[in-house]
Structure 1
């Protein structure tokens, strides 16, 4: 669960916002030269708009693009390394508003470090974040290009799947305990986009823990699981329930967690992977 958290699975409301003393629109001359990213999705967004050369420190699991993995690691799910951040002398830190520890961010600001925040809520918000980061980093033109490309690809996906036959599915985040997704959880949004009906869509909260009885009653036609790198998922738990159509028909889909969960332009690759997997069973 901690790895999924740091990959950007859990979402919250605001898009990129800035602290009162953070610069807004920047050109090449005034753009920050030393940026620290405190979440993997932020790192990917920065590289996507051409600002990778300004990034001097990153969080744990910032492994894409490969160049990011060579940068100093200054934070993880537990908190930030203040000494490491101060040693890098950043002129801007971009934090994940609900993924980073609030007290840590407050302390960074007390040190006089300028902080901006990122927190995409909807899949479509990624384009907005790209544009906002472009303004912050002096890469507005590149960001606009990346945002339009993302919007076009998202629109094409929506057009392709808006009339597809809908399948009842269950997204299994884990089995001990049994956990899933609903409402505005990132995978739940992907399920809707791919023309599938989440059998627990009406659950309270984005990450419910349904009882197996609920799954048995709903009779999903497909069970979806996400793994690191899209490696084959362990389906042994489900073999005890052959009355579920997905189990009887061996209709399981495994998707790449890094692609599907992380709120960056690459999430469309994960969503396409999910949609194409579902197409096999329509």
Structure 2
């Protein structure tokens, strides 16, 4: 059994058995991806507060904000009297989560680490919120679509790319970073895939030596990607041929059903340069 599945199933049986198995009616989501997945499994009416940047779906923008990357507003959470708080294990400060638990609040964790974990979490959040059928349906649909994408691209010709997380400092993706997992699925050859860390800094000399055929940058849907930094390096194949790809940042960086849109967008854009 998936470790996360075992942990959350244990939470379900332990946390709610003592409450006569009542479904939580007041849920606080402490990360944008948690908010989005709760809406996807049918728990929209139960979500009473969210974290900063929880902007999808649109109705989530109307909810109170009680957390950001810096921490959780403990007082605001307590004032809302939630039945359940769902925290992001990799993002929500541990001290804040511990404090919420010490104050008697029920807390569950979300921590997707791979593309396949999105399916698992949809199912689990459906169970936690009392929507097991819709959660299972969403999970199955995601898993099926992800498998289809893998089958579509497993035999494609690879293309060498550089994924620019930022240019000041110059950084990229590697190992288990979300964009790297998508690059691998799309048969993109990332020369820095095995560099230490998921989001390593690199030197421009290393990029020049790698000679990527395509440079990829993410941008928010309301902002155009800026490739002007690269124009000073015409010896790069990607620059000489003006082969740049801009992808939707929300699709790439949020672990939700919309991740499928990000993979599709990335793979189809790369198809032009194979």
Which TM class, normalised by the smaller chain length? over 0.9
Q: 2:27 aligns with which of 27, 35, 48?
A: 35
Greater length-normalized contact order (CA 8 Å, ≥ 6 residues apart): 1
Which structure shows the higher helix fraction? 2
Q: Would you say 1:203 and 2:195 are equivalent positions?
A: yes
- Which position in structure 1 is the counterpart of 2:182? 190
1:81 aligned to which of 59, 68, 73: 73
TM-score, normalization: structure 1?
A: 0.91
For residues 252 and 230 of structure 1, do their structure 2 counterparts lie closer, same or farther at Cα, with a shift above 3 Å needed?
A: farther
Aligned equivalents of 1:25, 1:177: Cα separation in 2: 50
Of 82, 87, 96, 1:95 maps to 87
129, 150, 163: which one pairs with 2:142? 150
Report how far residue 136 of structure 1 moved.
1.1
SS in 2 for 1:87: helix
Match of 1:9 in 2: none
Q: Name the SS for the 2:246 alignment partner.
A: strand
- The CA deviation at 1:87 is 1.1
Which of 71, 84, 87 aligns to 2:63? It is: 71
- Confirm or deny: 8 A CA contact 1:169 1:198 kept in the other structure: yes
Q: Distance in 1 between matches of 2:95 and 2:112?
A: 21
Query: Matches of residues 171-182 of structure 1 in structure 2 within 5 Å?
Result: 171-182=163-174
Q: 1 CA distance for matches of 2:60 and 2:228?
A: 36
Indicate the SS of the match to 2:4.
coil
Paired residues, number: 270
Return the alpha-carbon distance in structure 1 between the equivalents of residues 4 and 252 of structure 2.
19
Shift in Å at residue 232 of structure 1? 2.5
Query: 5+ unaligned residues in a row in structure 2: which ranges?
Result: none
**8 Å CA contact retained: 1:178, 1:209:** yes
TM-score by length of 2: 0.94
> What is residue 130 of structure 2 aligned with on the other side?
138
Does residue 55 (structure 1) correspond to residue 44 (structure 2)? The answer is no
How do residues 237-252 of structure 1 correspond to structure 2 at under 5 angstroms?
Answer: 237-252=229-244
User: Structure 1 residues 257, 230: closer, same or farther in 2, change over 3 A?
Assistant: farther
**Which consecutive aligned stretches of 4+ in structure 1 deviate over 2 angstroms post-superposition?**
13-26
Tell me if structure 2 keeps the 8 A contact 1:154–1:268. Answer: yes
Unpaired segments ≥5 residues, structure 1: 1-12
Q: CA RMSD in A?
A: 2.1
1:160-217 deviations in Å (ceiling 9; x for gaps): 1111110000000100000000000000000001111111112001010011111111
Q: CA deviation at 1:23?
A: 2.3
